[in-house]
Amino acid sequence: MEENKINALMDMTVSKIRQLVDADTIIGKPISTPDGITVIPVSRMSFGIGTGGTISGTGKYLKEVSDGAVTVVGSDPEGSIYSASSRDEVHQYDIEGAGEDFYPKAFDRNITDDIVQVTDREAFEMTRRLAAEEGLLVGGSSGMAVASAIKYALANDLDENQIVVVLAPDSGRSYLEKIFNDDWMRANGYGDIVERTSKPSLAEQYLNGTPSDEGAADGLHN
């Protein structure tokens, strides 16, 4: 009975994807949607792994329509079983909404081509940088996924012709009192990340007479 529920969930996920993409979407020429959005062909997809349903169902379909050309990369917290080499390496971690301490039935190990391990520190720093530098208010598992994509790209010498798509599954609104709260970060041992990712407000810059960017003193930013 439980297996049927899992299969139904994966079928629904694949069905939704089929409404948006086809073989040309994954590997081939760019296509335009009716609302004017251009979809660029991709060769790699990076997913955070939770229960394993999204990466298994979506990854399976992407590989099918691309004849295996798409590389599926999993992102996993340090301490989770997916990227652990043994049970002894499975332990508690602070990243929420990703990883497991057992292998769920929904996870198909044959779909992922690689799994990149990301520490709490790497995930949280990337999460805060995405908000500060890119204007993307995402959660910790999204920061983890982006960090893993960068680590994978560096490790495999990918160039500007290689497109990596990262699935950012959570919003930063749920983490305003945690990852985006400087006091929480410091209390949990992430004070150095706060120092690296925090900028004084425009008011503080003006009062202190130390604008961090050109034009900050008069409040002008492009």
Lowest mean pLDDT, pick from 37-41, 76-80, 213-217: 213-217
pTM of the model: 0.71
Percent of the chain with pLDDT over 70: 71
Does the residue 131 lie in any domain? yes
pLDDT score, position 104: 81
pLDDT digits (tens, 9 = 90+) for 23-57: 444 444 555 666 665 555 556 667 778 778 888 88
- Whether residue 217 is contained in a domain is answered as no
The predicted-structure confidence for 162-199, as pLDDT tens digits, reads as follows 878 888 888 999 999 999 999 999 999 999 999 999 87
pLDDT of residue 194: 95
> Per DSSP, what are the bridge partners of residue 71?
44
* Domain limits for position 19: 2-180
**Residue 123, SS3 per DSSP:** helix
Question: In total, how many domains does the chain have?
Answer: 1
What pLDDT, on a 0 to 100 scale, did the predictor assign at position 188? 97
Residue 195 lies in a domain: no
Q: Which of 62-71, 125-134, 155-164, 211-220 has the highest mean pLDDT?
A: 125-134
Q: Does residue 89 lie in a domain region?
A: yes
**CATH code of 32's domain:** 3.40.50.1100
The listed range with the strongest mean pLDDT (10-24, 99-113, 165-179) is 165-179
Classify the phi-psi angles of 189: left when phi > 0, otherwise alpha if psi is within -120 to 50, otherwise beta.
left
Residue 171 token pair: 């919003």
CA-angle at 174, arms to 58 and 108, nearest 5°: 20
